[in-house]
């Protein structure tokens, strides 16, 4: 894939230079020239009024894609408990496997020391099959140990798709596995599609893409992996057309679990593996749980977030009271975290946590793009800010221009009348 300028058609209008998010087009002697910053993101193609820019594709299948079939979910467990995101991904994996059709299954990959007690729960949340890899050496997560057994299993069973939760462990393991398999990996996806029709429905509903002329029935069964790019300013759909498996990490909190069904049954495959002590080069001496209260932003129904507009750290005392009153959890913008007013675990946004509560109160948050990227899919957004021009009002369902220190206590008082 490469972007090319057709020199005969280029009029040197430089509209493409403006459209390029990556500064990858130079004007040289009145002709557009693509430089090495190009990521083939395609933004320039529709921007050219003269159809002088095209994408050249030369795809040759590098592996026999037909051998690959099922959808695998890395069902991360810590201390013998499944992570929430593992269950969310089983729900998503179930959906994708049915989109692939042809009897493709959703399979959980369960790795650990002694984890057989979790198998039933995996069936209950939709797994058709569980590949279990257990060994005392896998009691605690190590990059080396988990990479080896997972890579070997993928080579043996050839899944079409492998998805991981984008947790600190998933983001350590997935890139290492993908590099060993020499396949592609897309980070932090917020949307996955196999079926082209569903993908086009998504584009129509949530994006600015003109979907006219897109063929809903083109039979393309590649995994379309959509993620925020460029600090959340752009969305990009990434494909991995000629390598298998197709691998993604997925943000916790964006996919939906299936309804728990304790009667569900599946098939258990105990995977043979060859792992020895010498394969593991790190020694996990201890795992320490932070004493601080756990902030479960991803599960919260209501979030009350504070930003730079609080003025100082003491503003979070009011936010905490507010959150307690409405039954919510305290969130924060990057500016407030960077100022040292509150711990990073509260941060909402591109580099913090992505949230989609029922109600999101943004208090004294201006609405930097990186913050919006992490909260704009909340059901209802309420913004309270002194500055009527603050970008947060662009995404808010309800906006109040005013002093948050005066308005919030009044909302709390009124809330009690419910």
Q: Which of residues 347-366 bind other proteins (CB under 8 A)?
A: 350-351, 358-359
Binding to other proteins, residues 60-99 (CB under 8 A)? none
Contacts 24+ apart (CB under 8 A), 381-390: 384/408, 385/309, 386/309, 390/365, 390/366
**Angstrom distances, CA of residue 344 to CA of 104, 122, 293:** 41, 32, 12
User: What distance in Å separates the CA atoms of residue 51 and residue 46, rounded to the nearest whole number?
Assistant: 8
Q: Closest by alpha carbon to 163, among 86, 81, 78, 84? A: 86
Query: Does residue 80 contact residue 134 with C-beta atoms inside 8 Å?
Result: no
Angular region, 300: left φ>0, alpha ψ -120 to 50, beta rest: beta
Binding to other proteins, residues 239-258 (CB under 8 A)? 239-243
In the set 2, 28, 31, 265, which binds other proteins (CB under 8 A)?
2
Q: For other proteins, give the closer residue by CB, 124 or 404.
A: 404
Q: For other proteins, give the closer residue by CB, 68 or 123.
A: 68
Q: For other proteins, give the closer residue by CB, 239 or 269.
A: 239
Q: Is 28 in the site for other proteins (CB under 8 A)?
A: no
User: What distance in Å separates the CA atoms of residue 32 and residue 20, rounded to the nearest whole number?
Assistant: 12
Binding to other proteins, residues 283-342 (CB under 8 A)? 283-290, 294
Listed ranges 65-73, 120-128, 161-169, 266-274: which one lies at the site for other proteins (CB under 8 A)? 161-169
User: What distance in Å separates the CA atoms of residue 74 and residue 86, rounded to the nearest whole number?
Assistant: 7
Residue 341 CB, nearest approach to other proteins (Å): 15
Q: Is 155 in the site for other proteins (CB under 8 A)?
A: no
Query: Does residue 332 contact residue 281 with C-beta atoms inside 8 Å?
Result: no
Residue 262 CB, nearest approach to other proteins (Å): 28
Residue 138 CB, nearest approach to other proteins (Å): 15
Query: Residues touching other proteins: how many (CB under 8 A)?
Result: 106
Listed ranges 68-76, 130-138, 153-161, 171-179: which one lies at the site for other proteins (CB under 8 A)? 171-179
Q: Closest by alpha carbon to 347, among 330, 361, 365, 333? A: 333
From the number of C-beta atoms within 10 Å of its C-beta (0-12, 13-18, 19+), residue 262 rates as exposed
65 SS3 class = helix
115 SS3 class = coil
Lay out the site mask for other proteins across 174-213 (x = CB under 8 A, - = otherwise): xxx-xxx-xxxxxxx--------------x-xxxxx----
Binding to other proteins, residues 369-388 (CB under 8 A)? 369-370, 376, 379-382
Residue 348 neighbours by CB under 8 Å, 6+ apart: 297, 303, 305, 331, 332, 333, 354, 355, 371, 374, 375
Binding to other proteins, residues 389-418 (CB under 8 A)? 393-403, 406-407, 409-411, 413-415, 417-418
In the set 168, 263, 274, 277, which binds other proteins (CB under 8 A)?
168
Residue 240 CB, nearest approach to other proteins (Å): 5
Residue 108 CB, nearest approach to other proteins (Å): 21
In the set 231, 256, 261, 313, which binds other proteins (CB under 8 A)?
231
CB atoms within 10 A of CB 148: 23
Question: Which residue(s) pair with 130 in the sheet?
Answer: 108, 268
Listed ranges 69-77, 127-135, 228-236, 257-265: which one lies at the site for other proteins (CB under 8 A)? 228-236
CB atoms within 10 A of CB 394: 12
Q: For other proteins, give the closer residue by CB, 119 or 409.
A: 409
Q: Is 219 in the site for other proteins (CB under 8 A)?
A: no
Token pair of 278 as six digits: 């010498």
Query: Does residue 101 contact residue 69 with C-beta atoms inside 8 Å?
Result: no
Q: For other proteins, give the closer residue by CB, 41 or 339.
A: 41
């Amino acid at each position: 894939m490469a972007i090319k300028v057709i020199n005969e058609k280029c009029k040197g209008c430089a509209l493409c230079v403006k459209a390029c998010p990556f500064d990858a087009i130079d004007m040289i002697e009145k002709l557009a020239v693509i430089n090495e910053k190009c990521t083939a993101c395609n933004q320039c193609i529709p921007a050219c009024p003269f159809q002088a820019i095209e994408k050249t594709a030369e795809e040759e299948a590098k592996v026999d894609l037909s051998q690959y079939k099922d959808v695998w979910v890395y069902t991360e467990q810590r201390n013998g408990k499944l992570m929430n995101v593992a269950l969310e991904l089983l729900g998503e994996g179930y959906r994708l496997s049915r989109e692939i059709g042809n009897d493709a299954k959703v399979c959980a990959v369960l790795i650990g020391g002694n984890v057989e007690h979790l198998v039933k729960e995996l069936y209950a949340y939709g797994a058709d099959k569980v590949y279990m890899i257990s060994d005392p050496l896998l009691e605690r997560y190590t990059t080396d140990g988990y990479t080896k057994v997972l890579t070997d299993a993928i080579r043996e069973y050839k899944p079409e798709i492998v998805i991981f939760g984008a947790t600190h462990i998933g983001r350590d393991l997935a890139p290492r596995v993908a590099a060993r398999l020499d396949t592609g990996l897309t980070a932090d996806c917020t949307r996955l599609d196999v079926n082209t029709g569903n993908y086009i429905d998504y584009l129509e509903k949530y994006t600015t893409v003109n979907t006219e002329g897109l063929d809903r029935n083109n039979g393309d069964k590649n995994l379309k992996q959509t993620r925020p790019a460029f600090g959340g300013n752009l969305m990009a759909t990434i494909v991995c057309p000629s390598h298998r498996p197709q691998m993604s990490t997925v943000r916790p909190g964006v996919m939906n679990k299936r309804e728990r069904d304790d009667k569900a049954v599946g098939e258990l495959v105990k995977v043979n593996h060859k792992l020895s002590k010498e394969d593991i080069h790190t020694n996990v001496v201890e795992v320490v749980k932070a004493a601080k209260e756990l902030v479960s932003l991803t599960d919260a129904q209501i979030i009350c977030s504070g930003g730079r507009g609080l003025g100082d750290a003491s503003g979070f005392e009011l936010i905490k009271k507010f959150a307690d009153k409405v039954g919510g959890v305290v969130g924060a913008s990057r500016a407030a975290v960077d100022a040292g007013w509150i711990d990073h675990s509260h941060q909402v946004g591109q580099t913090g946590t992505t949230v989609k509560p029922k109600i999101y109160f943004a208090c004294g948050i201006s609405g930097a793009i990186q913050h919006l990227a992490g909260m704009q899919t909340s059901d209802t957004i309420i913004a309270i800010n002194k500055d009527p021009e603050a970008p947060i009002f662009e995404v808010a369902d309800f906006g109040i221009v005013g002093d948050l220190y005066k308005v919030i206590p009044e909302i709390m008082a009124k809330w009690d009348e419910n």
